[in-house]
Amino acid sequence: MGFSAGAPAAPSKRPPLGAQVIAAVLCRLVLNTARRFPYPFAPALSRGMGVPLTAVTSLIAATQATALVGALSGPLTDRLGYRSVMLAGLAMLVCGMLAAGFWPVYAVVVVALLLAALGKTVFDPAIQAFVGDRVPFERRGLVIGLLEFSWSGCTLLGIPAIGVLMAHYGWRSPFFVLGALGLAGLAVLRLILPRDGQRPLGGGSAWHFWQQLLRQPQALGTLGYAFWVSLANDNLFVIFGAWFEEAFDLSLAALGFGTVAIGAAELGGEALTALLGDRLGLKRSVLAGLIVSTACYALLALVGQTLWHALAGLFVLFLSLEFTIVASLSLTTELVPGFRATMMAGFFAAAGIGRVAGALVGGPLWLWGGIGATGTFSACANLLALGCLLWGLQGWRHR
């Protein structure tokens, strides 16, 4: 696989851009796995450390706040360069994971998981901006779609592998393995990524970068879109297990199967973006995905009368949702080319705030009105996301 850069580059002995993207996908797989594995294995971690389960779940909630660090890391990335920040993100992961493996006490694990979350927070906008800087816009959906395989791969490969490790080698083993893989990824990226050249942006504070960015309507509209679409998603995601347990009397194993189905849908959405996003046009792809996912939210109560219909509805929902999000990531890399990393960090920060809001609303809303209220509310939030995007992108054209 080979991709041509957006601008001619000086001759180099480094691997082609395709190999660099593949290496970045594998590194993101490690980062995503480190970020997500505490969710399903919180009971095992609490037993291993000898702390209450609430201590682990509170820690998981605290890691969500690292998304806000993107408000500072984005401008820093635009100033220092993409390679430097990607390496720093991996270094945070390595330090945290190995520290937790060697000193498995609660305080160290707290720092480890916060470092892993922070590493992902700074790595993601940097790699997205790196791709946006080097891949022509006409192929951006393909490359971002391939890059996002690391998200579904975490659900389908990373989390099950962590379960096998814990079962055979104890609860500390994932920290050692993830730390070692992160160290290997750090060495590989350091060798194959081109060095950061002279940055076109001068000095100035993070606030200066944000001032420049927020003067652009397309940036404001996209931040609103990221907030509302993420709120809609987590409003459903936090209660889908309770819905399936109550409506269909499912066991934990069956609920796990439902999670795998969601992971498969996410993989399908990423593949669709890679295959169709550039052909349909990224803007058109995002709008079409939003319309389909909104209809899926609104129809959940109707199609969810039987287990298989509910599973099918969730599959189509998460397929369309992942297609929408990956296409919007691809589009966002080009909205404000002079501030790519800041724009991407803002996108992830707004999405993080939306996830927190969705998680807070989801439980009470479910208790009040069941799946009908949940689906209707998420559909309305999706419509607000659509409105924000249409407002922000009116008149915007790729140059």
Q: Which residues contact 234 (CB under 8 A, 6 or more apart)?
A: 354, 355, 356, 357, 358, 359, 362
- Lookup: tokens for 209: 């970068």
Per-residue pLDDT of 226-261, as tens digits, reads: 999 999 998 888 777 778 777 777 665 565 566 677
Per-residue pLDDT of 74-129, as tens digits, reads: 777 877 888 889 999 999 999 999 999 999 999 999 999 999 999 998 998 889 88
| CA–CA gap between residue 387 and residue 60 (Å, rounded) | 32
| CA–CA gap between residue 356 and residue 235 (Å, rounded) | 9
pLDDT > 80? residue 71: no
pLDDT > 70? residue 211: yes
Model pLDDT, residue 203: 52
5 pLDDT band (50/70/90 cuts)?
very low
Average pLDDT of the residues in 122-142: 88
Highest mean pLDDT among 37-41, 246-250, 377-381: 377-381
pLDDT > 60? residue 221: yes
Among the residue ranges 129-143, 150-164, 244-258, 323-337, the one predicted with the least confidence is 244-258
Average pLDDT of the residues in 125-153: 87
Model pLDDT, residue 206: 61
Q: Is 198 helix (H, G, I), strand (E, B) or coil?
A: coil
Confidence (pTM):
0.80
Q: What is the CB-side half-sphere exposure of residue 119 using CA atoms within 13 A?
A: 31
Kindly list the structural domains of the chain, giving each domain's residue range(s) and its CATH number in brackets, ordered by start: 17-192 (1.20.1250.20), 209-393 (1.20.1250.20)
| CA–CA gap between residue 254 and residue 119 (Å, rounded) | 33
| Average predicted confidence (pLDDT) for the chain | 84
Q: Would you mind telling me the total number of residues written for the chain in this entry?
A: 399
Residue with tokens 């816009």: 137
| CA–CA gap between residue 184 and residue 14 (Å, rounded) | 18
Model pLDDT, residue 70: 67
pLDDT > 80? residue 133: yes
pLDDT > 70? residue 344: yes
